[in-house]
Homo-oligomer: A and B are copies of this chain.
Amino acid sequence: MTDDAKQIISFFKGLQDEICTGLEGLDQGHHFREDLWERDGGGGGRTRIFTGNIIEKGGVNFSAVHGQMPDQIAAALKIPANEFLATGVSIVLHPSNPFVPIIHMNVRYFETSVGKWWFGGGIDLTPHYVIDEDATFFHEALKQTCDQHDLSYYPDYKKWADDYFFVKHRNETRGIGGIFFDRLSSDDASDRLDLFSFVQDVGQTFLPTYLELAHRNKDTSFSEEQQQWQRLRRGRYVEFNLVWDRGTKFGLDTNGRTESILMSLPPMANWVYDHQVAEGSAEAHTLTKLKKGIDWVNHKTG
């Protein structure tokens, strides 16, 4: 394991701690449950699950697994099997209130003993109801983080998120996107710390941004019909994660820890055949915003 890797692991652990503390501060009186687990073959993780008042179901997971790469992982990554290290933090939060969005974050690092290494990750938002100002606020926060490192990052990784978080069989995006990047690397190992610095900043963008979105909307009152809509949107979230998400598929195919991987699935989801929304409704507005290529930073509300 490289010295950089040790530093990255240590940062990821600290990030998990910081975010858990922040979320416990938001949803007072509730605490994360922690399950420590070990992987046959090397490494393990800290799965932390939250069941609260504002966050109905959430997971903030850290893992760092290493050892001889199983053949199925080498095949899935299309690289030769070697000693490897994979570490990261993964978060999915399902809020109780339909006006608070679902959020997902992942930051990860991978290296092999023959010198291959890369970072991946991103943050994306899945509102049950798209509130334009909140979507713009969210994308502005991501752009600001990206722009501190490279002006090409935000447009490139925003497009990557639009393309990745796409529910093909529904012809809609999972939510309003965000940023997504994978296999960020360089032939020059000294660039690794620069990329790490970007990934650190992405990780640290998560908490203040989500706390703001939660505070804005957690006390908005909602009806039974709006909660029903939330459950339908959660159903779409399930469809994306189980049908299209490469991370979920990779985890399930490579014998990952199922309960940690599927912490992303929501409480109480619903499927209704051919559900239709009323013209001009907030639900209809939301559907018009589940498209690729919306420029949220310069978005005119309407």
Chain A residues within 8 Å of B, Cβ to Cβ? 33, 35, 49, 51, 57, 59, 168-170, 231, 235, 238-239, 242-243, 249, 252, 258-259, 261-263, 265-274
Q: A169-B252, A273-B259, A274-B259 are in contact. Are A231 and B268 (CB under 8 A)?
A: yes
Please, which residue of chain B has its CB at the minimum distance from the CB of A171? B258
Q: How far apart are A98's CB and chain B's nearest CB, in angstroms?
A: 16
Report chain B residues within 8 Å CB of A35: 274
Partner of A238, one of B238, B263, B272: B238
Tell me the bound Cα distance from A266 to B231 in angstroms.
Answer: 12
Known: A239-B242, A243-B243, A269-B269. 5 other contacts (CB 8 A): A238-B238, A243-B249, A262-B271, A266-B271, A268-B269
Tell me the bound Cα distance from A169 to B256 in angstroms.
Answer: 9
Tell me the bound Cα distance from A274 to B263 in angstroms.
Answer: 9
B273/A59 in contact, CB under 8 A: yes
Which of A49, A59, A168, A252 has the largest count of B CB atoms less than 10 A from its CB?
Answer: A252
A49/B273 in contact, CB under 8 A: yes
Report chain B residues within 8 Å CB of A274: 35, 49, 259
A–B pairs, 15, beta carbons within 8 Å: A49-B273, A49-B274, A59-B273, A169-B252, A231-B268, A238-B238, A238-B269, A242-B243, A243-B249, A243-B252, A263-B273, A265-B271, A267-B270, A268-B268, A269-B271
Which of A35, A249, A259 has the largest count of B CB atoms less than 10 A from its CB?
Answer: A259
Report chain B residues within 8 Å CB of A261: 169
Report chain B residues within 8 Å CB of A238: 238, 242, 269
Report chain B residues within 8 Å CB of A170: 258
Report chain B residues within 8 Å CB of A271: 57, 262, 265-267, 269
Q: How far apart are A167's CB and chain B's nearest CB, in angstroms?
A: 10
